[in-house]
Amino acid sequence: MSSIDRLIILAYDPGITPNEGGLPGLSVLKSVVSSINLYGIIAVVGALAVSLAVWAWGHFTGGHNSEATGKKGAVVSAGAALGLGAANGIVMFFSALGSQVK
């Protein structure tokens, strides 16, 4: 196989693009994913509250391990909240970036 044939194979466009009306149940799937995102955000709020309480407890009782664990939990909870809140934007950004690849 010559290098030109390989280039032609690599340049082949299969013509596949996202089709919103392609399958039934898309609105149900969107609703389910939105609900999962909501449950995740609620769980993060609870985890943040517990982590901050552990951090304060460790600080005021002199438990350095508890204090460090509470700090870690607070940072992880904040990161999870950031990821859950930005999930749509992240996916849209990389999807748009991927559609520009030629």
pLDDT (tens place) for every residue of the chain, 102 residues total: 677 676 666 666 666 777 777 788 888 999 999 999 999 999 999 999 999 999 999 999 999 999 999 999 999 999 999 999 999 999 999 988 988 877
User: Furthest-apart CA pair in the chain: how many Å?
Assistant: 74
Please give the DSSP secondary-structure letter assigned to residue 24: T
- For residue 5, tell me if it sits in a domain: no
Q: What is the pLDDT of residue 75?
A: 97
Whether 31 maps to a domain, the answer reads yes
Residue 46's pLDDT is 97
Contact 57, 68 (CB under 8 A): no
Domain count, the chain: 1
Is 94 a member of any domain?
yes
Q: Residue 25: its pLDDT value, please?
A: 86
Query: Is the Cβ–Cβ distance between 70 and 51 less than 8 Å?
Result: yes
Which residue range is the domain that position 75 belongs to?
A: 26-99
